[in-house]
Amino acid sequence: MSNWPFRFVHAGDFHLERLPHDVAEVPDHMRELFIESAYLAAERVFETTLAEEAELLVLCGDILHPQQTGPRGPLFLIEQFERLAERGIPVYWAGGRVDPTDAWPSMLDLPDNVHVFPKGHVEEFVHERDGSPLVRVMGAGHDPGRPVRPTDFEPDPAGLFTIAVVHGATDAKALQSRGIHYWALGGRHGRKTPLRGAETAHYPGTPQGRCPTESGVHGCTLVRVESNQARATMVPTDAMRFIDAKITIDEQTDQEELEDSFRREMTSATEAAPQTDLLISWTVSGEGPLHRQLRRGSLSAEMLEWLRAEFGFGPPAAWSISLKAEPPESLPTEYYEQETILGDFLRSVRQSQMNEDELLELDSYMAEKHVAGTLASDMALPDGPPRDNVLREAAMLGLDLLSGEEATI
Amino acid sequence: MKITSLQVDGFGVWSKLKLEGLGEDLNVLYGPNEAGKTTLLQFVRSVLYGYAAERQKYLPPLHGGKAGGSLELATPNGQFQLDRHYEDNDEQITLSAADGTRQGEHLVKVLLSEVDESIFNNVFAVGLSEIQELGTLGGTEAAELLYNLTAGMDRISLVEVMRELENSRNSILDREGGPCRMTQLIERREKLRGEIEELGKLTRRYGRLAAEDKQLKREIARLEEEHAQAEHQSRVVELAVSLRERWQQRDELDEQLAALGPGRELPVGAIDRFDELNERIENHASRIKQRDAQQKQIKRDAAGLRINKPLWRQAARIEALSEQQAWLAGLQTQVADLEKENAQRQTELDNELKQLGIGGDGKSGPTPSLSRRRMPALRTPARAMKECRRRLQEAERAAAQSAEEAQSLSRQVETAIAGKGSGDLSTLMEKAADRAASFRRRLQIDERLDQLLRYRKEQEQRGEELLDKQMLPGWVLAAFGVVFALGFMLVIVGMFMPASFTGSLGWALAGLGVVGCGGAVAGKMMMERSNDRQLMACEKQLDMLEMQIEEAERERDALDAKLPGGGGPIASRLEAAEGELAALEELVPVDARRSSAAQDAQATAARVEDARRDLSAARHGWREALRSSGLPENFTPSQVKQVLSRNDHVDQLRQHLARNSEELEHRRGELDSLLGRITQLAAETGMESAGSPPLVQLRLLCEAVAEQESRVKQRRQLKQRLRKVRHNRAKHEEALGRLKSRRRELLRECDVEDEQTLRHRAAQFAKTEVLRRQRETLSKEIETAVGGHCPQQAIAEQLAGDAADKLETRWEQLAERSQSFQKELGQRFQRRGQLAEQLKNLADDRRMAGKQLEMAMLEKRIKETAQRWQTLAVTSLTLEKIREIYEQQRQPETLKEASQYLDALTRGRYCRVWTPLGEDVLRVDDAEGNVLAVEVLSRGTREQLFLSLRLALAASYERRGATLPLVLDDVLVNFDADRAKAAAAVLRDFAAAGHQLLVFTCHEHIMKLFQSLKVPVNRLPDNSDSAGATLTFSKAKKSRKSRKKATPVETVAAEPIDVEPVVVEEEVEVIALEEEPEEEQTDEAVFEVVEADPPWDEEDDESDEEEVDEDESDELDDEDEEDEDDYEEGESDEAEEYDEEEDEYEEDEEEPEDDDYEEDEYEEEEYDDEAEAA
C-alpha cells in the first residue's frame, strides 16, 4: 500500500440529453450555444481531468440518456473516454436514473479504461500506481428496485484510501463513521458538501445549469488527496450561466433611474463572469407607479427589449430572458376592508389562498371537447406553490382591474 | 313639486278647463272613454316640457282657445305658476312666483329637479301604452337606478371587467372551442412532437446501421481469418513445389544410410583416444630413464662439501652478538653525546637565572611573588579587562559598519529617485500609481468608444436599410395594386353587370371585391406601419448610442486634459507609467533597509560608549590586583605572564641536567659488559687475534660462521633434490602402468581384440558420417526455405503419394480461393466505409437538438400561457362568485322597493324583481323560487311589475330630491279584481307617504275600488263643450297615515278593504263658468263629484247606478256586480287590520313632528347656503 498524494476529478449529472429549458425565447445568435452548452461543459470536465493530470475520473450518474441524445451522446463520450485512455486515466462510472448500466447501446463498445459499476450492488476496483495499490474505488449503479445502502460499503482493512461512488441522496449521518474517505455522490444539480473532514461526502452538481432555477456558477470537483485527507475544489465548466438579478424600486423611482439600476447590475454581473455568456432573469420588487406599470406588462416588454438591445449581443452576451415585476407578498389591510367589489374580490381570493383544499373548477371556462383532452392537463391548476402563485397573480390582476385606473389585461 | 291646479286654455279636446284644489296625495279622476284623460296627461307633459312633435296633434285645440295652458305648482320654495302657450309655431313660457314676479325659464328645470322629459314621460306621467314599454327607459338615469348593479364606492363596471377577462381568456383558450392561442400552441407542439419522433427514427436508424457495422466487422474478421488460412495453404503448396527436388535427394540419402545399416558403432572418439594413449605411454618410458641419470650426479656433488663443527656449535651466540653490534656502537655514541649535553645544559641554566635576576647560582628556588597560587587573583581582573576591550572593539566595528551601510543605502535610494520629481519615495509612488490608473482608464474609454462607434455604424446601416424599406418594393406595390384592381373589378362586375351575366353571384362578387380592396389597402398600411415602427426603434437606438459616445468622449477629453502631454501612444505611456511604478515599488525594500541601518548605527554608538565605561572600570580592578600581589601597578598582564613562563623554563633546565647525568652512568655500565663477552667467544672458537679491538674480533667471528652456514645449506639442497628425482621416477612408473591398463580397457570397450580390427571399424563409421552430414545440409536448406511458415510435416503431406504430381493444380485452386476472399473483403470494407459515412452524418445531425430546443421554448410558452389563463380564469371565477353575491344580496335599492310593491300587487305570487349584473334586463322570482324573464309574464302581471317599478323609481327620485307628481292614465285596467284592489291600496299608501298621484281611470270598478279605500274620486267634465269648466277637487279627510313613510308593502299586502262608506269631508262644488255662470248652470252638465259612496249604500245606489248605466257599457255593469260580490268577502278583515294600524300610528304621533322639525331645519340650512352663494 502506498500513501502517495494524488488527484482525481468528481463529476456527474451531465444530462447530455437535456437542453436548456424554461426559456420562452432564444435569440438566433445564442441558439448554437443553447444546443451545445451541455456538451461544451462536459468536454471541459474531461479537459480538466487531463490538465490537472488527475489519477482517475469518477462519474456519479445521470451522464446521458443514450436513446434521447441520439448517437451523438454515446459517440461524444467514447471520444472523450479514449482521450483519457491515451493518458492512462481510468474512468469509474456509477449509473444514475437516466443512464443505468444496461442502457448503453449494445452496438457501441466502451473503451477498456471505463469501469461501469453494476446495478443495485457494490463492486470495487483497486487502482494502482507503479504496481502499488493507490486508491480503492467502490460503487453501485442506481436501481430503483434495489436501493443501495451506506452499510453496503465496507472500509478497506488495510486503510487504503477509499472512494464510494453512488447516485442518489441519503442522510449525511448514515454516511458518517463508515470508514469511507470520500463519498462521491450524484443526483443533485446543485453543488453540496453534506459531510466534511476525514470522511467527506460531496455532490459536485451539474457542470452546466440548464434553467433559470439552476442559476449561478456550475462545474466539476477536483479532489486532492494527501495523507488520506480529501480536499475538494470546484472547477467552473459552464459554457453559459443563468443569473437571477433583483432590483428594488420605490415610489419615487422613474424610468431613467430604473435603467441606471439595470446598467449597474449588468456591469456587476458581466464583471463577475467576463468570459461567460449570461442569461439573466430580472425581478423588480418594490412599489410605486413604475412598479405598477411594469406589472401590467407593456413597460416590462419595453425594458426587456431595451436590455436585450443594449447588452444582449456581447461578446460575451448578457441576454435578458425575462423581466418580472414581483407582486407584493401581501396587500395593505385597508384593501381587504373596503366595502367595494375590489374588497369583496380580495377577500374571496384570500379565502381561497387560506383554504388550500378548495377546488377551483376552471373546466367551466373550457370547451367540452377540451375538458377530456390533453389540453385540460396543460390548463389544470396545480396544487401547492404554483396554485398560490396563480392566486397571487389573480389578486394583483383584480387589483389592477378593479382599482379604478385604466387597465389592460 | 306638486301640482295644485291646472288650467287648460286650449289643448286637444279641452278648452278652458280648470282643475283646482288638487290634493298633495292621491287624486283620482274618473272619466269615460274619450273623456280627455290622456289629453290631460299630455297637457301636463307639454306645459312642463314643451310641445314636442308627438304632442303637436293636440294643437290647435279642437274647441278653440289659445293653445296651451298653465300649471300652478307648489314647491318647498313657494308657489309658482308655469304658463306655456303655443302660438305661431313658437312656445311662450312664463314662470311666475306667487307674488306675480316672473322667474327665469331656467328655474323650470330646477323645479323639475333636473328630471328630463324622457324620464318624466316614462316614470312620472305614464299611460297604459308607456307603462308596458320598459325599454323606453334605456339609457336614462332611471335605467341606471334599476340596472346599475355596482358597489357604491369604486364605480367599476364589474361586467366590463368580466367581459375583458372573458375576451382575454378566450383569446388564450376559447370557451366555445374556436381557434385561439393555446390551441395554436398545442397544435404546434403536436407538430413538433411528430417531427421529433420522426427525427427519433434517425436514432433507430443509427442503431441499425451501427449493428450492421458491428456485424460487418465480425464478418471481416472471419473472412480475414479464412483468407489467411487460404494464403497459408497456398504458401505450403508453393513451398512443396519449390522443395520437391531437395526433398527427393534427402530421401535418397536416407536410403543409402539405410543400406549401410546400423553396424557396430565405435564409441565416440575411440580411435583418437587410442592414439593418444599410445603417445603418452612412450613419453613416460623416456622420462624414467632421465631420472636415473640425475640421481647419480647429485651423489657426486654432496661428497665435495666439508664442515668446522666447534665454530658451527657457537654459531647461535656469535650471531646474537653480531645482532647487537649496532647497539654496541650506539652505546659508545650515546655516552659521548650525554657528556656533551650535560655541559651545555649547565651553561644555559646559568644564563637564564641571570636574566631573571632571581639568583646567580642557579640553585635557589623560584621567587615567592611568581608563585602559581597567586594566578587566580590576577586572572579574573585580567580577563575582565580583556573582555571589556574586546567588546569595545566589536562595538566600534559594528558602529562603523552600520554607519557605512546607512550611507550606502541612502545614496542608492537618492540615485534611484533622482530626476523623478520632488518628494520622498511614497509620494512618488502615489503619483505614479495615479498616472498609471488614468492611462488605463483612458485606454478603456478608447476601447469602449471603438465598440460604440462600431455598433453605431451597424445601426446606421440598419437604419439605411429600414429607410429603404419605407418605400415598399415595386413588386409588393404591384401585388397590392393587382389585388385592389381585381377587387374593384369584382365590385364593378357585381354591382353593375346585369344579373343575367353574373347570375346569383352578383352581390357575392361585389362583396368579395370589397374585401379584396380593403385587404390590399390594409395590407399596404400594415406593412408601411411595421417598417415605420422598426425605423423608429432603430433611430431611438442610434440616439442612445450617440449619447453614450458623447459621454465617453467627454470623459476621454477630461482625462486627456488631466494627463501630461506627449510621450507617444497611450498604451506605451501606460506601459512606461506601470514600469516607473514597478521600479519605485522595487525601491521600497531598499528604503526600509536604509531606515533600519540608520537605527542600527545609533544603537551601536550607544553600545561603544557603554563598552568604554566598562573598560575603565576593569583597568581599575587590575591595578588593585597587582597592588595586592606586590607587583608594580604599571605591570601588564603580559609581563606577569612572561615572568611566570620563564620560571617554569628554569625548573625544567634543572630537571634535565639531573636526568642526563643519571643516564650517562647507566650507558657506561652496559658497554663494558658487552666487550667482555666478545673476547670470551673468540677464545672458545680458536679465532683469537691479539691486539684487535673487540668489535673487529666480533666481525671476523661472524664471517666465519656465515661461511659454515653456506656449506650446510648446499648439502641440504642436494639431499632434497635427490629425494625429488626419486619420487618423480616413481610417479612416471605408476602412470605408465595406468595408461597401459586404459589402452586395454579401450579395446575391450570397442569390442575388438587388437589395434587393426579397431582401425577397420573406424573407417566404416566415417563413411556413414559423411552421408549423414549431406542429409543434414539438405535438411537445413529445406528448413530455411520453409522458415516459420508451416511445419515440415505439412510439406511432407503435400509431397506424399500421388498428391505431389498435382501440386501445381492445387496451388492454382488455392490462389483463386484467396483472391475470392480478398474480393469479398474489399466489398465488406467498402460497405463499412459507406456505413461509417452514414453514421458520421447521423452523429453530426443537429436537427433533433434544434427541434428539442424549439420544443423547450414552446413548452415554456405553453406554461406561461396556461398560467396566464389560470390567472384570468381564477379571477373570473372569483368575480363570478362576487357577481352572484351581488345579484342575490346587493340589488339596487329601487328594485328592492319595487319587489315589495310587486309582492303586494301580486298578493305574494311574485316576490322579487332583480337585474343580473351588467345586463339591462329584469328577472322576476316567483314564490316557488323560479326565475322568470319579463317577457314570459302575462300582460297583467307585467303591468303590475312595471307599475311597481314606476312607484319605486318615483320614490327613489324623491329620496334624491326630485319630488314630482305621478300621473297614471288608466294603468290598472288590465289588473284582475283582486290585484286591482291591491293596486288601489298600494297607490293609496304610496300617496299617503307624501307622493302626489293623479290617477285617471275610465273604469267604474276601479273608481269604486278607490272609493272603497276612502279615496275621493272626481269625475271629469264633458269635453265636448268649448265653454270651459272648472273642477275643484274634493279632498279626503287627511289621515294620520299621511305622514307614514313609504313602507306600504307590509301594510297593504294584508290590508282589508275598508267597508265603511266613504265620508266626503268637503262639499263638492259645482262651479259655473265665470263668463256665463247662469248658462252654465242650465246648459252645462253638472260636474258631479263622484262620492266615495260604498256600492252597498242603498240610498245612493240608485243614482249611482243610473250614472253608471249612462256611461258604462252593459258589460262593465256585469263585471261590477261580480266585483261587488268579491269585495264583500274579505273587506271586514282588512278594515279591522287597518284600524289596528291607525291605533299604532296614534301611539307614534310624536315622531312625525320630529321629522318635520328636522326637515325644516334642513331647509333652512339649504336656504342659508343658497343665500351665501348668492
DSSP run (H or E) holding B9: strand B2-11
The residues, any chain, with a CB within 8 Å of residue B947's CB and separated by 6 or more, are: B131, B901, B905, B968, B971, B972, B983
Q: Tell me the percentage of chain B whose pLDDT exceeds 70.
A: 81
Helices (H) and strands (E) in chain A, counts: 12, 15
pLDDT for B321 beyond 90: no
Residue numbers in B near A24 (CB within 8 A): 857, 860-861, 864
pLDDT for B1131 beyond 90: no
Confidence of residue A51 (pLDDT cuts 50, 70, 90): very high
Predicted pLDDT at B1073 = 33
Confidence of residue A23 (pLDDT cuts 50, 70, 90): very high
For B882-933, how does the pLDDT look when each residue is reduced to its tens digit (9 = 90+)?
A: 888 877 777 777 888 888 888 988 888 898 888 877 677 788 888 888 888 8
Q: Which three cell numbers stand for residue B1010?
A: 278607490
Confidence of residue B141 (pLDDT cuts 50, 70, 90): low
> CB distance B161–A402 less than 8 Å?
yes
Predicted pLDDT at B524 = 87
CB contact burial B12-41 (16+ within 10 A = b; e otherwise): bbbbbbbbebbbbbbbbbbbbeebbbbbbb
Pairing of strands B910-914, B923-926: antiparallel
Predicted pLDDT at B262 = 67
Note the ipTM here. Answer: 0.89
- Closest chain A residue to B173 measured between Cα atoms? A366
pTM summary value: 0.50
Residue numbers in B near A389 (CB within 8 A): 867
8-state DSSP, B123:
I
CA atoms B996, B1000, B1001, B1004: torsion sign: positive
Confidence of residue B1153 (pLDDT cuts 50, 70, 90): very low
The C-alpha of B214 sits at a distance from chain A's nearest C-alpha, in angstroms, of: 7
Predicted pLDDT at B1089 = 35
Residue numbers in A near B871 (CB within 8 A): 390, 393-394, 397
Tell me, yes or no, if B872 comes closer than 8 A to chain A by beta carbon.
yes
Helix (H, G, I), strand (E, B) or coil at B910: strand
Average pLDDT over residues B506-524: 86
Compute the distance between CA of residue B976 and CA of residue B979 in angstroms, rounded to an integer.
Answer: 5
The residues, any chain, with a CB within 8 Å of residue B956's CB and separated by 6 or more, are: B145, B893, B894, B897
Confidence of residue B876 (pLDDT cuts 50, 70, 90): very high
CB atoms within 10 A of CB B612: 15
Q: Tell me the percentage of chain A whose pLDDT exceeds 90.
A: 61
pLDDT for B1014 beyond 60: yes
Helix (H, G, I), strand (E, B) or coil at B365: coil
Average pLDDT over residues B964-978: 85
The C-alpha of B539 sits at a distance from chain A's nearest C-alpha, in angstroms, of: 13
The C-alpha of B153 sits at a distance from chain A's nearest C-alpha, in angstroms, of: 6
Mutation for testing the A interface, residue in B192, B840, B858, B882 having most A CBs under 10 Å: B882
> CB distance B870–A379 less than 8 Å?
yes
- How far the first Cα of chain A sits from its last, in Å, is 73
For B328-370, how does the pLDDT look when each residue is reduced to its tens digit (9 = 90+)?
A: 788 878 888 888 888 888 788 777 666 655 444 444 444 434 4
Predicted pLDDT at B1056 = 37
- How far the first Cα of chain B sits from its last, in Å, is 23
Confidence of residue B300 (pLDDT cuts 50, 70, 90): confident
CB contact burial B862-881 (16+ within 10 A = b; e otherwise): beebbbbbbbbbbbbbbbee
Lowest mean pLDDT among B605-614, B634-643, B949-958: B634-643
> CB distance A71–B848 less than 8 Å?
no
Q: Which of A110-114, B531-535, B584-588, B767-771 has the highest mean pLDDT?
A: A110-114
Residue numbers in B near A211 (CB within 8 A): none
CB atoms within 10 A of CB B808: 11
CA atoms B1114, B1115, B1118, B1124: torsion sign: negative
**A-B contacts (CB, under 8 Å):** 170
Mutation for testing the B interface, residue in A26, A379, A392 having most B CBs under 10 Å: A379
Q: Which three cell numbers stand for residue B887?
A: 345579484
Cβ A396 vs Cβ A339: under 8 Å? no
Compute the distance between CA of residue B675 and CA of residue B690 in angstroms, rounded to an integer.
Answer: 15
Instruction: Say which residue the cell 512606461 belongs to.
Output: B576
Lowest mean pLDDT among A35-49, B82-96, B617-631, B960-974: B617-631
Residue numbers in B near A106 (CB within 8 A): 211
Predicted pLDDT at B1088 = 36
Predicted pLDDT at B374 = 67
Pairing of strands B125-127, B966-969: parallel
Cβ B46 vs Cβ B57: under 8 Å? no
Cβ B143 vs Cβ B133: under 8 Å? no
Predicted pLDDT at B1054 = 34
Average pLDDT over residues B430-445: 85
Tell me, yes or no, if A362 comes closer than 8 A to chain B by beta carbon.
yes
Compute the distance between CA of residue B449 and CA of residue B441 in angstroms, rounded to an integer.
Answer: 12
Nearest to B882 among A309, A348, A374 (CB): A348
Instruction: Say which residue the cell 413597460 belongs to.
Output: A299
Helix (H, G, I), strand (E, B) or coil at B141: helix
Average pLDDT over residues B971-1000: 86
Tell me, yes or no, if A360 comes closer than 8 A to chain B by beta carbon.
yes
Compute the distance between CA of residue B1139 and CA of residue B1130 in angstroms, rounded to an integer.
Answer: 15
Confidence of residue A302 (pLDDT cuts 50, 70, 90): very high
Q: How far is CA B689 from CA B329, B674, B699, B700, B701, in A?
A: 20, 18, 12, 9, 11
Averaged pLDDT score across all residues of chain B: 77
Compute the distance between CA of residue B1022 and CA of residue A108 in angstroms, rounded to an integer.
Answer: 117
Predicted pLDDT at B1121 = 40
Cβ B1065 vs Cβ B1035: under 8 Å? yes
Tell me, yes or no, if A379 comes closer than 8 A to chain B by beta carbon.
yes
Predicted pLDDT at A89 = 96
Q: Which of B116-120, B675-679, B784-788, B951-955 has the highest mean pLDDT?
A: B951-955
Tell me, yes or no, if A370 comes closer than 8 A to chain B by beta carbon.
yes
Q: Which residues pair with B93 in a beta bridge?
A: B84
The alpha carbon of residue A66 and the mean position of all alpha carbons in its chain are separated, in whole angstroms, by 20
Confidence of residue A135 (pLDDT cuts 50, 70, 90): very high
The alpha carbon of residue B319 and the mean position of all alpha carbons in its chain are separated, in whole angstroms, by 118
Mutation for testing the A interface, residue in B452, B853, B889 having most A CBs under 10 Å: B853
Residue numbers in A near B870 (CB within 8 A): 362, 379, 381, 390
pLDDT for B634 beyond 80: no
- Closest chain A residue to B866 measured between Cα atoms? A379
Tell me, yes or no, if B917 comes closer than 8 A to chain A by beta carbon.
no
Lowest mean pLDDT among A24-38, A265-279, B155-169: B155-169
pLDDT for A308 beyond 90: yes
Nearest to A409 among B150, B164, B174 (CB): B164
CA neighbours closer than 13 Å in the CB half-sphere of residue B1049: 19
Residue numbers in B near A349 (CB within 8 A): 874, 878
Looking at chain A from residue 49 to 68, which residues have their Cβ under 8 Å from any Cβ of chain B? 67
Confidence of residue A4 (pLDDT cuts 50, 70, 90): confident
Averaged pLDDT score across all residues of chain A: 90
Confidence of residue B1090 (pLDDT cuts 50, 70, 90): very low
For B223-271, how does the pLDDT look when each residue is reduced to its tens digit (9 = 90+)?
A: 999 998 888 888 888 888 888 888 888 888 888 888 877 666 778 788 8
Q: Tell me the percentage of chain B whose pLDDT exceeds 90.
A: 6
Confidence of residue B1057 (pLDDT cuts 50, 70, 90): very low
The alpha carbon of residue B568 and the mean position of all alpha carbons in its chain are separated, in whole angstroms, by 47
Predicted pLDDT at B473 = 81
Lowest mean pLDDT among A130-134, B457-461, B636-640: B636-640
For B833-861, how does the pLDDT look when each residue is reduced to its tens digit (9 = 90+)?
A: 999 998 888 888 888 889 989 999 999 99
Looking at chain B from residue 840 to 859, which residues have their Cβ under 8 Å from any Cβ of chain A? 842-846, 848-850, 852-853, 856-857, 859
Helix (H, G, I), strand (E, B) or coil at A57: strand
Compute the distance between CA of residue A108 and CA of residue B839 in angstroms, rounded to an integer.
Answer: 12
For B583-617, how does the pLDDT look when each residue is reduced to its tens digit (9 = 90+)?
A: 888 888 888 888 888 888 888 888 888 888 888 88
Q: Which residues pair with A138 in a beta bridge?
A: A124, A164
